A and B are shown apart, each in its own frame.
Chain A
Amino acid sequence: MYSEKVMDHFTNPRNVGEIENASGVGTVGNAKCGDIMRIYLDIDEDTKIIKDCKFKTFGCGAAVATSSMATELVTGKTIYEAMEVTNKAVMEALDGLPPVKVHCSLLAEEAIHAALWDYAQSHGIEIEGLKEPKDDIHEGEEEEEY
């Protein structure tokens, strides 16, 4: 079902944990739907480079793997460059996801954005293309009919 890379990031997730006094924290998803991601960012005040990124995720294998990959992709980038880490980029880096798991990669993108938003808000910074995170990632998604 999953690619080797997904399984690698699921079984050996990178950057699991919390950052004390993080520059920005974002939590997205909801437990009702079975996935929640929380991203912590440590951002250099001068260079705006993400020095460290950690995550915690409640969710399926793909949710854990996309969180792990997303933290790897944004680390070392500036907060502006981090906007380029889209769900597509995360998916490609993982050699793809099964169609029913694509929403996990969206969640990872949203989690990064939510953490960036938190940082931008507290520092009065504007990041191009960054919008206020939705309360619930599944908002607006229609229930599947069968």
Chain B
Amino acid sequence: MIYLDNAATTSVKPEVFEAMKPYFLENYANPSSVYSFAQKSAKAVEDARTQIADLLHAKTGEIYFTAGGSESDNWAIKAIADLRKEKGKHIITSRIEHHAVLHTCEYLEKQGYEVTYLDVDENGLVEIEKLKAAIRPDTILISIMFANNEIGTIQPINEIGKIAKEHNIVFHTDAVQAFGHVPIDVETMNIDVLSASGHKFHGPKGVGFMYLRKNIRIQPLVHGGAQERGKRAGTINVPGIVGMGKAAELAGQNMEERIKYETELRDYLIQKIKDTIPYLKLNGDEKKRLPNNVNFSFRFVEGESLLLMLERAGICGSSGSACTSGSLDPSHVLLAIGLPHEIAHGSLRLTLSEETKKEELDYVVDNLKEIIEKLRGMSPLYEDFLKGERENV
């Protein structure tokens, strides 16, 4: 099997699993207990907090553990909206955010908040001038993702952070796809709140965190015990947190080499697909892009068919076609970058990891070429195109 869906989830690294194991089998104590046996668990959780904070250039006390990226996004946005409602009720976000952000914003609209959904350019970049123009005296929060999960575009976070700071607006970024993959510095980037998820960087599933700048005091997400400084009650997921901490540490250790390796592989795959298959479009920015993300739209074919065929060749990928979402509309991200529906349906996302080998990519391209030819061979759109009844776009 060739797994090229690392934006969906990653494998747990063996070192991560080994680090977690004792907290299932031996040190199973509840870290909130008083005996010294429990202190081992408590210390492990705090060590993980430091491992994560270090990678963000944050302070240990600014990390709150959650159950994942969606929870962190929900909490961050709702809590900041609530905290600053006296100042104003206007939020700025983008059209290409993850649904965890978009649907939270839509929920807040029903609660009386106003939300500006910024358009993005054809590469998926937020335009700074549009952001500036959207800011109002009652703007309390800007929530812009660090990097997009579908097309990999990395936003101008430095500039956005600077603008937010100048206007005294809280800046939240959904960094689920970016944390552990590219450098993040919450200080120099002026990030106030950040969401991330363990399983996107070779940690376990079901655990994530929210970074929250120290001077911002929000309401608890879960009321109950004193866990997470009283902000999120409930017995702590010790093994999950330990695993995520270890994964963050490992991600930090080889980030530079990994980015270099993945970027080379990514660009190799992009070029090879472009050289091999006609009538396609690379989605997302060519350079301001996650090192592991490749996303193409192939004309005249539909994404789900493509994925099913790839699976038969042992290749796992993903698509933004409607048929993979269960609705009639293709991905909101692909539509937001201006793709016509028909072309958005033919998208394929391949996301690499440091374990991906060049030979695997050669195999993928060989199969992809054959599959696209086969699907186009039975596509009425391609038939019309060849007869000149459908123009090239």
Do the beta carbons of A34 and B301 come within 8 Å of each other? Answer: no
Do the beta carbons of A144 and B379 come within 8 Å of each other? Answer: no
* Contact among B312, B322, B383 with A33 in the assembled complex (CB-CB below 8 Å): B322
Q: How many residues of B contact A (CB 8 A)?
A: 26
Cβ proximity bits A34-68 to B, threshold 8 Å, 1 near / 0 not: 11111000000000000000011111111110000
A residues less than 8 Å from B152 (CB atoms): none
Also in contact, A33 and B380, with CB within 8 A (given A60-B305, A60-B323): no
The complex places the Cα of A57 from the Cα of B382 at a distance, in Å, of 10
Chain B 373-393 residues near chain A, CB threshold 8 A: 377-383
Binding site secondary structure of chain B:
helix
The complex places the Cα of A17 from the Cα of B380 at a distance, in Å, of 9
The complex places the Cα of A35 from the Cα of B326 at a distance, in Å, of 13
* Contact among A10, A17, A27 with B308 in the assembled complex (CB-CB below 8 Å): A10
Q: Does B302 reach chain A (CB closer than 8 Å)? A: yes
Q: Does B300 reach chain A (CB closer than 8 Å)? A: yes
Chain B 292-315 residues near chain A, CB threshold 8 A: 300-305, 308-309, 312
A residues less than 8 Å from B255 (CB atoms): none
Q: Does A3 reach chain B (CB closer than 8 Å)? A: no
* Contact among A7, A10, A17, A58 with B301 in the assembled complex (CB-CB below 8 Å): A58
Binding site secondary structure of chain A:
mixed
Do the beta carbons of A143 and B377 come within 8 Å of each other? Answer: no
Q: Does B289 reach chain A (CB closer than 8 Å)? A: no
A residues less than 8 Å from B302 (CB atoms): 34-35, 58-60, 63
With CB as the reference atom, state the residue of chain B lying closest to A54. Answer: B378
The complex places the Cα of A31 from the Cα of B301 at a distance, in Å, of 10
With CB as the reference atom, state the residue of chain A lying closest to B321. Answer: A34
* Contact among A13, A34, A64 with B322 in the assembled complex (CB-CB below 8 Å): A34
With CB as the reference atom, state the residue of chain B lying closest to A13. Answer: B378
Whole-angstrom distance between the Cβ of A20 and the nearest chain B Cβ: 13
Do the beta carbons of A34 and B328 come within 8 Å of each other? Answer: yes
Do the beta carbons of A57 and B379 come within 8 Å of each other? Answer: yes
Do the beta carbons of B341 and A59 come within 8 Å of each other? Answer: no
Q: Does A16 reach chain B (CB closer than 8 Å)? A: yes
Do the beta carbons of B328 and A138 come within 8 Å of each other? Answer: yes
Interface residue ranges, A against B (CB under 8 Å): 7, 10-11, 13, 16-18, 27, 31-38, 55-64, 100-101, 138, 141, 143-144, 146
Residue pairs across A and B with Cβ atoms less than 8 A apart, 21 shown, are A10-B308, A11-B312, A34-B323, A34-B328, A36-B380, A37-B380, A38-B383, A55-B378, A56-B380, A57-B378, A57-B380, A58-B301, A58-B302, A59-B302, A60-B304, A61-B304, A61-B308, A63-B305, A64-B305, A144-B328, A146-B327
